A = this chain, B = another copy of it.
Amino acid sequence: MKLSTRGKYGLLAMYDLAVNDQKPVAIKAIAQRQGISDAYLEQLIASLKKARLVSSTRGAQGGYQLTRPPHTISIGEILLALEGSVSVTDCVSSPDCGQGCDCPSRPVFHKIQEGIDHILADLTLADMLDCKTDSPEHASVEATI
């Protein structure tokens, strides 16, 4: 159930683009600021571009930019672009899950998926920017299971 580094780094990259939104931002700049390998980041951004979440300008002084304002880009979209899919299990989508057809897990998986999709659709890139203005630290950070 963990997110891979693709998701994590990609989110940071999108955040970086949202913050530096005036002109094209080079991969190297993002990588340095966010502490990520730039060769790797290149791949991730390629996925983001394919999903049309960012646009690119080639050549010197080139770089990447968001295609839409941060509050219209959901975290779910970003993660989907990077992780390929954000589904808990294939069972949910495919009718033939292997264990015959009326698998007892199905409805449960379906509910979990709905919940997660909902959360990811509601959160947007703007929520990452907010935390800057939002000065006082969020209180409890321990309860994670």
Complex CA distance for A134 and B106, rounded to whole angstroms: 13
Residue of B nearest to A80 (CB): B145
Enumerate chain B residues within 8 angstroms of A80, measured Cβ to Cβ.
145
Cβ proximity bits A1-31 to B, threshold 8 Å, 1 near / 0 not: 1110001100110010000000000000000
Interface residues on A, range: 35 or more
Residues of A within 8 A of B (CB): 1-3, 7-8, 11-12, 15, 34-35, 75-76, 79-80, 83, 85-93, 95, 98-100, 102-108, 110-113, 115-120, 123, 127-132, 134, 138, 141-142, 144-145
Q: Are B1 and A112 in contact (CB under 8 A)?
A: no
A12-B105, A145-B76 known; A2-B88 Cβ under 8 A: yes
